[in-house]
Structure 1
Amino acid sequence: MTLYPIESGNFKLDGGAMFGVVPKSIWNRTNPADANNMIDMAARCLLIEDGNRLILIDTGMGNKQSEKFFGYYYMWGDHNLDRSLKEAGFHRDDITDVFMTHLHFDHCGGSIQWNNDRTGYEPAFKNAAFWTNKDHWEWAVKPNAREKASFLPENILPMEESGQLNFIDNTGKSYLESSELGFGILFVDGHTDKQMIPHISYKGKKLVFAADLLPTTGHIPLPYVMGYDTRPLLTLDEKMTFLNTAVDHDYYIFLEHDAHHEICTLRHTEKGVRLKDTYTFEELFK
Structure 2
Amino acid sequence: MKLYPIQAGHFKLDGGAMFGVVPKPLWQRTNPADANNMIDIAARCLLIEDGDRLILIDTGMGNKQSKKFYSYYHLWGNDTIDKSLSNFGFHRDDITDVFMTHLHFDHCGGSVEWNSDKTILQPAFKNAYFWSNAEHWKWATEPNRRERASFLKENIEPMEKSGQLKFAILPENNIVNQSELGFGIFFANGHTDKQMIPMIHYNDTTICFMADLLPTAGHLPIPYVMGYDTRPLLTLDEKEQFLNMAADHNFYLFLEHDAHNEIITVKHTEKGVRLNNTFSCKELFNL
Instruction: Output the CA distance in 2 between the equivalents of 1:142 and 1:7.
Output: 30
Q: Which residue of 1 is the match for residue 21 of structure 2?
A: 21
State the one-letter code of the partner of 1:187: F
Alpha-carbon distance in 2 for matches of 1:174, 1:30: 30
The corresponding residue for 2:62 is 62
Deviations 1:37-81 (A, max 9, x none): 000000000000111100000000000000000000000011111
- Indicate the residue corresponding to 2:273 in structure 1: 273
Within 2, Cα distance between the matches of 1:50 and 1:267? 30
What is aligned with 2:9? 9
Task: Tell whether 2:196 aligns with 1:176.
Answer: no
Counterpart Cα distance in 1 of 2:104 and 2:178: 24
Who is 2:205 aligned against? 205
Of the structure 1 ranges 276-285 and 239-248, higher mean CA displacement relative to structure 2 is found in 276-285
- 1:170-226 Cα offsets, whole Å, 9 max, x none, are 052411111x20100010000000000000011122100000000000000010000
Structure 1, 214-223 or 165-174: larger mean CA deviation? 165-174
Give the Å deviation of 1:135: 0.1
Task: Provide the residue aligned with 2:81 in structure 1.
Answer: 81
Aligned equivalent of 1:192 = 192
Q: 1:242 is matched with which residue?
A: 242
SS at match of 1:109: helix
Counterpart CA distance in 1 for 2:154 and 2:285 is: 37
So what's the TM-score if we normalise by structure 2? 0.98
Aligned-residue offset at 1:283 = 1.5
**AA partner of residue 257 (structure 1):** H
Matched, 1:124 2:112: no
User: Gaps spanning 5+ residues in structure 1: where?
Assistant: none
Which residue identity lines up with residue 61 of structure 1 in the other structure? M
Q: Determine the C-alpha separation between the residues in 2 that align with 1:164 and 1:106.
A: 20
Other-structure match for 2:44:
44
Task: Report what 1:106 is aligned to.
Answer: 106
Matched residues in 2 for 1:285 and 1:133: separation? Answer: 28
Kindly tell me the number of residue pairs found equivalent between the two proteins: 285
Amino acid at match of 1:230: T
Is 1:153 the counterpart of 2:153? The answer is: yes
* Residue 5 (structure 1) shift: 0.5
- For normalisation by structure 1, the TM-score amounts to 0.99
Counterparts of 1:283 and 1:90, CA distance in 2? 20
CA distance, structure 1, for counterparts of residue 120 and residue 20 of structure 2? 37
Distance in 2 (alpha carbons) for counterparts of 1:177 and 1:194: 15
Q: CA deviation at 1:285?
A: 2.9
Distance 1:7 1:88 in 2: 12
Structure 2: any 5+ residue segments left out of the alignment? none
Match of 2:221, SS state, is: coil
Determine the C-alpha separation between the residues in 2 that align with 1:20 and 1:81: 30
Report the 3-state secondary structure (helix = DSSP H, G, I; strand = E; otherwise coil) of the residue aligned with 1:33. Answer: coil
**Moved beyond 2 Å, runs of 4+:** none
Calculate percent identity across the aligned residue pairs. 70
Q: What does residue 216 of structure 1 align with?
A: 216
SS at match of 2:278: strand
Structure 2 letter corresponding to 1:161 = K
Aligned to 2:47, the other structure's residue is in SS state strand
Q: Is the 8 A contact 2:2 2:285 kept in 1?
A: no
Query: Which residue of the partner structure matches residue 165 of structure 1?
Result: 165
Q: Is 1:254 the counterpart of 2:254 in the alignment?
A: yes
Tell me the alpha carbon deviations over residues 138-175 of structure 1, each in whole angstroms, 9 at most, x when there is no partner: 00000001000000000000000000000112052411
Deviations 1:96-139 (A, max 9, x none): 00000000000000000001221120000000000000000000
Partner AA of 1:147 in structure 2: E
